[in-house]
Amino acid sequence: MINPTSVLFGHAIYPPGSTLGPRRWHTYEFVLIYHGSMTVSINGVPVVAGSNSATLLFPGDEEYFCFSKTGETHHAWLHLALPALASPISERIQRLPHVIPLSAPMHALMDHLLELRTSPLPTAQEMMKTVSVELLWRFVGEAEQLSLNNQERLRSELVERAKEYVFAHLHEELTLTHLTCSASLSSAHLTRLFHSQVGQTPMEYVWQQRVKRGVELLEFTGLTVEQIALRCGFKTSYHFSRRVKAVTGRTPTQIRRQAG
């Protein structure tokens, strides 16, 4: 459970070209940019955050802010002082990116915090802490989901890269080593990706595409069976015919005859 020792928040508008820092805080800080942009140097490393972005800054880092030079930057901020976090939670937060898109729920949570500043309720302070922690977990969840989505997109791109290599080199000798080099992956990793996304091993996919291309050439060209076999990466017409019959239930001659 996370229980903040203090919560400070507000909103600000910086004129074009404004700067802030250098400074070093001992709290977690959120900067939600509604309009404008900023580049914050974190221990000398620049991080860029544009409009509709949420930035998480960590305790103890040296920060220097440069705001947009072309227009005002309107943002809200939250300083969250936390006791020493349990190691799994701390490590989980430290793995997060500094900047993610600002979502409507995060925007709403910050608006709720700003409203609580004038609340007459005797529980307002407790509510502020609760909402602040919810904002933290919202950032963690959305950042981790974004990371998962990016990983899935990368996995798809790697499989597509291997597929494109197959299409371009179907007439050549193709081994698992060739495919792993084309995707810059280990054979085990590429095999796992193909299983999860294609439902086949990479080499099963290769032979499927060779038969598919061969059937197309039988149906739409006048090439001989021997010529088609070579174009599709088969060493002999016998091997080609046997594969085609196993997959389609028809011989190359039957396929060509039925195609007219």
**Domains of the chain, residue spans:** 6-150, 169-260
Q: What is the pTM of this model?
A: 0.69
| Distance set, CA 96 to CA 106, 144, 159, 203 (Å) | 16, 7, 26, 37
| Distance set, CA 120 to CA 33, 124, 153 (Å) | 28, 7, 48
Tell me the CATH class for 6-150. Answer: mainly beta
pLDDT at 194: 93
Question: To the nearest whole percent, how much of the chain has pLDDT over 70?
Answer: 100
**Closest Cα partner for 136 from 105, 162, 163, 157?**
105
pLDDT at 3: 84
CB 93 within 8 A of CB 140: yes
HEC assignment per residue over 33-75: EEECCEEEEECCEEEEECCCEEEEECCCCEEEEEECCCCCEEE
Looking up tokens 């602040």 gives: 132
- Give the residue-averaged pLDDT of 11-33: 95
Q: First-to-last CA distance in the chain?
A: 73
- The answer, yes or no, to whether residue 86 has pLDDT greater than 70, is no
pLDDT at 2: 82
- Greater confidence (25 vs 73) lies with 73
pLDDT at 259: 79
pLDDT at 170: 93
The gap from C-alpha 233 to its chain's centroid, in whole angstroms, comes to 36
Amino acid identity, residue 125?
Q
CATH architecture for segment(s) 169-260: Orthogonal Bundle (1.10)
Name which of 22-31, 161-170, 183-192 the model is least confident about.
183-192
- The answer, yes or no, to whether residue 87 has pLDDT greater than 80, is no
pLDDT at 217: 95
- The answer, yes or no, to whether residue 85 has pLDDT greater than 80, is no
- Give the residue-averaged pLDDT of 65-90: 90
| Distance set, CA 90 to CA 2, 8, 241 (Å) | 11, 21, 61
pLDDT at 208: 95
- Give the residue-averaged pLDDT of 56-66: 94
> Can you tell me the distance from the alpha carbon of 213 to that of 203, in angstroms, rounded to the nearest whole number?
15
Q: Nearest-5° angle of CA 221, CA 222, CA 225?
A: 100
- Give the residue-averaged pLDDT of 39-56: 96
Average pLDDT, the chain: 93
Where does the pLDDT of residue 216 fall: very low under 50, low under 70, confident under 90, or very high at 90 and above? very high
Looking up tokens 């928040």 gives: 9
- Give the residue-averaged pLDDT of 204-216: 95
SS3 129: helix
pLDDT at 148: 87
- Give the residue-averaged pLDDT of 191-219: 94
Two structure tokens written together for 112: 């709720």
pLDDT at 91: 86
- The answer, yes or no, to whether residue 198 has pLDDT greater than 70, is yes
- The answer, yes or no, to whether residue 29 has pLDDT greater than 80, is yes
Two structure tokens written together for 118: 């004038």
Angle between helices 252-259 and 202-220 (to 10 degrees): 50
pLDDT at 101: 96
Q: Nearest-5° angle of CA 8, CA 32, CA 3?
A: 40
